[in-house]
Amino acid sequence: MEILADIHDLIAPLLKNIWLQMGLLVAFATIHGYVGAWLAVRMLFRPRRPIKILGLTVFPQGMIPRNRDRLAAAIGKAVGEELVTSDTILEHLIGREFLKRKLDAIVAEYTATLLETNYPSLIEALPTSVRIPVLDAISGLQVKLAEQPLEWMTSLADASRKFSMLRQRTGSLTSLQYALRPD
């Protein structure tokens, strides 16, 4: 007991200083807070599995590993209902033109596929029972189209007048083309 009395006699004059008392108070509170937080976190996460001796649980499983499934469901529900709502998802899709960019990409890809595909001719795609009447109709139209210019030019004078008019229009187009041509 004399040793404790000697230590007290040595420390007592130092503890009367207010600055030393405040410094020791801060140091003690810091150490106490650190140890308390460390112990709380350790008790939340450890042990990952309960420790049993002779069938008795000596150290129960930590709170988070024990309630992992329930905690995950609660966090998922909170995130789904509070943080990420359907309104925020729609706002991000429409507000930032995400949907427009995706649709443009889909349309561009579909258009490129259509343009790159070689399709058979229309005549080859027709069934054989329909093919002959369609070809007959096309040849009839060709004959009518071939006869049309002949009907226009019934006389030589009429043909000459139309030819000079055609030459005049072609000449004006040519001069217009030269005027609009970039240098």
Give per-residue pLDDT as tens, 16-54.
888 888 999 999 999 999 999 998 888 887 777 777 788
- 134-152 mean pLDDT: 77
What is the rounded (10 degree) CA torsion for 164, 165, 171, 174?
-140
Single-letter amino acid, residue 158? D
pLDDT tens across 65-111, in order? 778 888 889 888 888 787 877 777 777 767 667 777 888 889 899 88
Looking only at Cα atoms, what is the longest distance across the chain?
Answer: 148
Question: CA–CA separation, 39 vs 32, rounded Å?
Answer: 11
Question: CA–CA separation, 60 vs 164, rounded Å?
Answer: 109
Report the residue count for the chain: 183
Which of the two residues, 22 and 14, has the higher pLDDT score? 22
Q: Are 45 and 65 in contact (CB under 8 A)?
A: yes
Cα-atom radius of gyration of the chain, to the nearest Å? 48
Q: Which of 13-27, 53-67, 150-164 has the highest mean pLDDT?
A: 13-27
Confidence (pTM): 0.33
Give, for 163, the enclosing helix (H) or strand (E): helix 156-180
